[in-house]
A = this chain, B = another copy of it.
Amino acid sequence: MNKNLELKLKTIKNKVDILVKNYIKKNNPILLYEPAKYSLKSEGKRIRGLLCVLGYEAVRKGSFSNNIFYAASSLEILHLFTLIHDDIMDNADSRRGRETIHKKWDTNTAILTGDLLVGVAYNSLLKAKFKNLVYAINEFNDALITVCEGQGYDKLFETYENIKIKEYYLMIEKKTGKLIESSVIIGAILGEANKSQINSLSNYGKYIGRAFQIKDDLLDIIADEKKLGKSKYGDIKESKKTYFYAKALSCFNSKDLHTLKFIFQKKSKSDSDINKVVELFEKYNLIIIAENEINRLITLAKKSINNIDKSKREPLEFLADKLAVRTY
């Protein structure tokens, strides 16, 4: 059974992959389309595309339409836009083992390429000719606005010394969670889901989104760098307000908290600074706590879609489990 589901996901991922990577046919102006293609040709997990197609499959009654892949690829392309602009703001030099666009070209090129990809993403969505397309566009645009808000909170919280776990969740639900949730919802909208199905899939998406970001924060500490495609400890180096930082604030004793804050306020951190932070996270079992939280959220995600037919929800359950154990 799992082999069938594995194959099913792989088939969808490949179709999304091919569509995204070859989406742009234009060449001119080269200053714009060269970096745009470079971005589209990057490797990705295509989780948003998968969620869109699986959301559609979970609810559709009529025959399968390949148009859903246009919606799936629109979500991936919108995601790529966010990465390009975030990388500028985060001063990130590499992404998935390759130079970022502002590094390989320059900041202006990266700004413009990101802008173009918003248009390209909409272009792809507009090709998904389903009855409910306007509703899907509304959801898509809400996601765009929310992602910007999330990035705004992310930049704002960089200036805060203290951050509550509630604020952390507010930020990640907007910055990462919303687009993940919208992916499955847009699939469901295009499959003409009823309100109760939308509601279930929306909860599923919310839990998956949260788990996904905590896993990201976790991988920054425990991943194999080769698989991750970028350096570890980037969040610590950039003093990012991750799950671990927010948790630390609520459970560290005052001495350890002082050490953590002292290191986090340094602009440049030494290897021993970073080791000290990781050591403190481990001392308070935060890695295990994070893993437990991810598993709890994944269980909640799967429970949310209990009201969907078993055979139709299975791929979504399978994907949820895969996300929990991913290594990059």
Q: Give A residues with C-beta under 8 Å from B.
A: 28-33, 85, 88-89, 107-109, 111-112, 114-116, 118-120, 122-123, 126, 133-134, 137-138, 141, 144-145, 148-149, 151-153, 155-156
B126:A148 contact, CB within 8 angstroms: no
Give which listed residue, B123, B148, B153, contacts A115 with CB less than 8 A.
Answer: B148
Among A109, A112, A137, max chain B CB count under 10 A is at A112
Give which listed residue, B31, B111, B137, contacts A85 with CB less than 8 A.
Answer: B111
Using A112-B85, A112-B155, A114-B115 as known contacts, say yes or no to A137 and B148 having CB atoms under 8 A apart: no
User: Which residues of the partner chain B approach A126 to less than 8 Å between Cβ atoms?
Assistant: 134, 137-138, 141
User: Which residues of the partner chain B approach A107 to less than 8 Å between Cβ atoms?
Assistant: 107
Instruction: Kindly report how many copies of this chain are found in the complex they form together.
Output: 2
A155:B108 contact, CB within 8 angstroms: yes
Nearest residue in B to A122 (C-beta to C-beta)? B141
Interface SS, A side: helix
With A119-B148, A122-B141 known, 13 other A-B pairs at CB within 8 A are: A29-B149, A31-B155, A32-B152, A88-B111, A89-B111, A111-B114, A118-B118, A118-B144, A119-B141, A122-B122, A123-B141, A126-B138, A134-B134
B145:A112 contact, CB within 8 angstroms: no
B118:A89 contact, CB within 8 angstroms: no
User: Which residues of the partner chain B approach A144 to less than 8 Å between Cβ atoms?
Assistant: 115, 118-119, 122
Nearest residue in B to A29 (C-beta to C-beta)? B152
Kindly state the separation between the CA atoms of A112 and B141 in the bound complex, as whole angstroms: 15
User: Which residues of the partner chain B approach A119 to less than 8 Å between Cβ atoms?
Assistant: 141, 144-145, 148
Q: How distant is A170 from chain B, measured CB to nearest CB, in Å?
A: 9
Using A126-B137, A138-B126, A155-B108 as known contacts, say yes or no to A115 and B85 having CB atoms under 8 A apart: yes
14 CB < 8 A contacts A-B:
A29-B149, A30-B156, A32-B151, A88-B111, A89-B112, A112-B148, A115-B115, A116-B152, A118-B118, A119-B144, A122-B137, A126-B134, A134-B134, A137-B137
Kindly state the separation between the CA atoms of A89 and B102 in the bound complex, as whole angstroms: 13
Among A31, A115, A123, A153, max chain B CB count under 10 A is at A115
Kindly state the separation between the CA atoms of A144 and B123 in the bound complex, as whole angstroms: 10
Kindly state the separation between the CA atoms of A138 and B119 in the bound complex, as whole angstroms: 10
B116:A88 contact, CB within 8 angstroms: no
Give which listed residue, B120, B133, B152, contacts A145 with CB less than 8 A.
Answer: B120
User: Which residues of the partner chain B approach A33 to less than 8 Å between Cβ atoms?
Assistant: 152
Q: How distant is A133 from chain B, measured CB to nearest CB, in Å?
A: 6
